[in-house]
């Protein structure tokens, strides 16, 4: 059935949806992610593969896989980051709706169908948020804690206590008015675009439930490395939107803990009290999440490690923020431009 749908779509001059997929050194993933997108039940679409200056043969693999396919377009750019690649894809997009796919996500077969239907039913919406969940292949402290947080987010969304806070499917005309992704950002670029969407007073449609699953690292040490990088690169988003309080909330406990460790040398009692204060701060800050998630989680013992998980994430990101601030200061002294690829 799907091959017949694709053949009909190829006769269409203008597909309704453009799927933009940025690729960077993803030679081993292209075939799988293309097959993943082909599973979509909605077929009035084109697929735009954007090679972001790969050096591992991604370009050649993409060309081979797209041979003979009129529904696939390949865009080749110099390496400029995911934001640059997505904008390059939008420039080639012909559809009214743009879906920014990611190679590390597994999408429900009806993902695109649900997105289009929701946008069609809500003409005032500039984008649609389809909620998802982590793809868990191992039961670890990290995966169980991520699952706890995901359950809390879904519950709060369903209760109307929080609003959708991200989107990967946009109307193309809205993207053009917003100016696309900020190419100076490497982390938080999706949040930045969403913030500008809300500031422009566009409504956001919402499809509840689990519509996709995100592949994530499965252990806390693996995630800690990513959180460090996220903090180091997300600083530009925080500065752009003047989220100084967020930076202080992240960096404050870390540096207070460092102070406590230093004080241990001179005054073990005082240093111990400072460290205990930081630990209790994290326990207290996680109680609200734990209270909401308690009836949703079967293995209650997972809550015992949740404060440790949150502390590890906070400290990893705080170290990333700290390194980034130093590098930004150095770049300013040197009179050099500050961008995602030089901090």
Task: Dig out the tokens for 191 from the structure.
Answer: 């949040």
**What predicted TM-score, i.e. pTM, was given to this entire model?**
0.88
CA pair distance 171, 260, nearest whole angstrom: 51
Task: Dig out the tokens for 70 from the structure.
Answer: 């009129």
- Each residue's pLDDT tens digit in the chain (343 positions)? 323 333 434 445 799 999 999 999 999 999 999 999 999 999 999 999 999 999 999 999 999 999 999 999 999 999 999 999 999 999 999 999 999 999 889 999 999 999 999 999 999 999 999 999 999 888 899 999 999 999 999 999 999 999 999 999 999 999 999 999 999 888 899 999 999 999 999 999 999 999 999 988 889 999 999 999 999 989 999 999 989 999 999 999 999 999 999 999 999 999 999 999 999 988 888 888 988 999 988 888 888 889 899 999 999 999 999 999 999 999 888 888 776 666 6
Residue 105 β-bridge partners: 214
State the pLDDT at residue 226.
93
284, containing H or E segment = helix 268-293
Beta strands at 45-52 and 17-23: parallel, antiparallel or unpaired: parallel
State the pLDDT at residue 4.
33
State the pLDDT at residue 12.
52
State the pLDDT at residue 116.
98
Domains by residue range for the chain, with CATH: 2-215 (3.90.550.10), 220-342 (no CATH)
CA pair distance 88, 75, nearest whole angstrom: 7
Q: Is the dihedral of CA 173, 49, 188, 81 positive or negative?
A: negative
State the pLDDT at residue 11.
42
State the pLDDT at residue 98.
98
């Amino acid at each position: 059935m799907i091959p017949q749908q694709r053949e009909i779509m190829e006769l269409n001059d203008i597909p309704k949806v453009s799927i933009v997929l940025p690729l960077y050194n993803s030679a081993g993933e292209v075939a799988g992610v293309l097959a993943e997108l082909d599973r979509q039940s909605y077929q009035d679409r084109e697929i735009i593969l954007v090679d972001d200056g790969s050096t591992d043969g991604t370009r050649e693999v993409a060309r081979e896989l797209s041979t003979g396919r009129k529904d696939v377009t390949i865009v080749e750019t110099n390496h400029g980051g995911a934001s640059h690649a997505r904008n390059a894809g939008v420039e080639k997009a012909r559809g009214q709706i743009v879906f920014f796919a990611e190679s590390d996500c597994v999408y429900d077969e009806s993902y695109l169908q649900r997105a289009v239907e929701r946008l069609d039913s809500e003409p005032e919406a500039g984008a649609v948020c389809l909620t998802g969940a982590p793809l868990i292949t191992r039961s670890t402290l990290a995966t169980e804690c991520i699952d706890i947080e995901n359950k809390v987010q879904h519950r709060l969304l369903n209760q109307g206590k929080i609003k959708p806070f991200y989107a990967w499917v946009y109307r193309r005309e809205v993207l053009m008015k917003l100016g696309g992704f900020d190419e100076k950002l490497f982390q938080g670029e999706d949040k930045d675009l969403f913030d500008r969407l809300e500031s422009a007073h566009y409504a956001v449609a919402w499809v509840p439930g689990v519509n996709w699953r995100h592949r994530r690292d499965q252990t806390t040490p693996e995630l800690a490395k990513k959180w460090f990088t996220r903090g180091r690169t997300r600083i530009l988003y925080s500065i752009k939107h003047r989220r100084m309080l967020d930076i202080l909330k992240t960096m404050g406990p870390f540096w207070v803990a460092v102070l406590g460790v230093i004080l241990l040398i001179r005054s073990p009692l005082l240093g111990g009290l400072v460290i205990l204060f930081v630990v209790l701060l994290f326990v207290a800050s996680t109680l609200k999440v734990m209270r909401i998630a308690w009836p949703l989680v079967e293995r209650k013992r997972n809550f015992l490690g949740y404060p440790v998980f949150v502390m590890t994430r906070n400290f990893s990101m705080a170290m990333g923020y700290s390194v980034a601030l130093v590098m930004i200061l150095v770049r300013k002294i040197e009179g050099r431009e500050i961008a995602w690829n030089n901090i």
